[in-house]
Structure 1
């Protein structure tokens, strides 16, 4: 019996990095996992790698109608959700003097509105006593050069998580924020503009120098905390922010 035995989970942005690693751990712990992704090729490949206890729905969280389709597919197949891991999002390295209105709209549409409407639309399927985890970032509480816009969206999620945790206490639904530091994922390198092995190594060295443990994290390390928050092991934890950042935001 795993920690998530017979649970039904939704993981947005589940085709790579933290999302895919979390989907894999959830399945290992006994859950059936629905993942989402914007690109069909990557989505199909992820589902194939995860096996029979996974299903994929193509979706863009910035489009509420697209989120409706995800929830409808889960309702048709399972009729319930026990845990939601809201991971879809992203950000770019942009100095203050170069931020455009398009940059602002893109960051807040995906990271904030996408999270809000994913949670809102999932609630009718959520079982009482379920768990919702929002993926934040150490950028929300620590200065990361040229990431002010991204950090602001993640700070918004921290605020929303507190409010939703309080609102959902009557149903026993726990809401927490999991905030990673720099993690060895494709998204980390894309946001830093590193597109080859040399550039990625430079990013690892530069970011590792900011972290007390001396390295960037692995997706599997974030996934381990995600399992804790999704399971009954965290039954008395709600409204909290848990950092998986190698001490970057703590020391």
Structure 2
């Protein structure tokens, strides 16, 4: 029987410098990970990434951080190779990278579409590819998507449309990697109370989202709190290994599929 505990494991988190990714990194370090490698996108996130590294180290785990734009296959490959060189082959690989665009479909430019596809779909595809090449047998792979995959709504065509392929990537990867004991999942949180959410939304939309979930009245903000998402991801990359090939929406009853 494989060991599905987090204790002693090596973790790689894309987008792990801050917000949900940073909280996952800190949480897995507190739950016994031996080493956590985090990725951050740009120099503007460096300070947050360094704070996350310090928190991981304070929890007793080894920590490293790498800056990269993961919209090229080569950059994703380098991230995995750098992680292996620094802390060893990962047992757990989590991709939280994403970009939101809220805009009428008829107003979306080709350049905007290409950027959304590169960040949300292309980077996820090559993250799964490199995870399949580098993650240890009996490992765990998880990608963040969005609860809008269960929605019937305007203005998010480029966002939910470029996250949707990750469901298919996840199913295929789960079948291909399953013979090595690797589970592959996707997690779709509802609108989260992070700086990632607010720039795309007006005041009216924020007010709607704060009341849209069945359990909104019991949430601190009415939105999905990242603290409520982390335990599910921890479960999926440990004892929840038998769940694979699935997209799980964690949103307090915001949408369903």
Give the Å deviation of 1:203. Answer: 5.3
TM-score by length of 1: 0.90
Q: d(CA) in 1 for partners of 2:55 and 2:107? A: 39
What's the offset of the Cα at 1:204? 4.4
Separation in 1, partners of 2:124, 2:256: 26
In structure 1, the partner of 2:208 is 206
The CA distance in 1 between the partners of 2:205 and 2:13, in whole Å, is: 27
Listed as ranges, the matches of 1:227-238 within 5 Å are 227-231=234-238, 233-238=239-244
Q: Is 1:45 equivalent to 2:47 in the alignment? A: no
Deviation, structure 1 residue 165: 0.7
Give yes or no for contact 1:43–1:58 (8 Å, CA) kept in 2: no
Q: How does 1:59-208 map to 2 (within 5 A)?
A: 59-192=68-201, 204-208=206-210
SS in structure 2 at match of 1:177: strand
Deviation at 1:6, TM superposition (A): 0.7
**Cα deviation 1:22-45 (Å, max 9, x = unaligned):** 111111111121110112323323
Q: Deviations over 1:55-95 (max 9, x none)?
A: 11101111222223211221112331101111111111111
Q: Which runs of 4+ in 1 moved over 3 A?
A: none
| Count of residue correspondences | 242
Q: Which residue of 2 aligns with 1:196?
A: none
- Displacement after TM superposition at 1:47 (Å): 2.0
Contact 1:204–1:216 (Cα < 8 Å) also in 2:
no
Residues 22 and 220 in structure 1, CA contact (< 8 A), matched pair in contact too: no
Specify the SS of the correspondent of 1:88.
Answer: coil
Partner of 1:241: 247
Give the Cα separation in 2 of the matches to 1:212 and 1:134: 25
Contact 2:26 2:52 in 1 (8 A): no
**Structure 2 contact 25–52 (Cα < 8 Å) conserved:** no
SS at match of 2:136: strand
Separation in structure 1 between the aligned mates of residue 100 and residue 201 of structure 2, nearest angstrom: 9
Q: Is the 8 A contact 1:189 1:203 kept in 2?
A: no
Q: Could you give the per-residue CA deviations for residues 113-161 of structure 1, whole angstroms, max 9, x where no partner exists?
A: 1011122123222111111111111111212431111111121111111
TM-score of the superposition, structure 2-length normalised? 0.88
Counterpart CA distance in 1 for 2:165 and 2:175 is 16
Equivalents in 1 of 2:104, 2:232: separation in Å? Answer: 32
Structure 2 residue ranges without an equivalent (≥5):
217-221
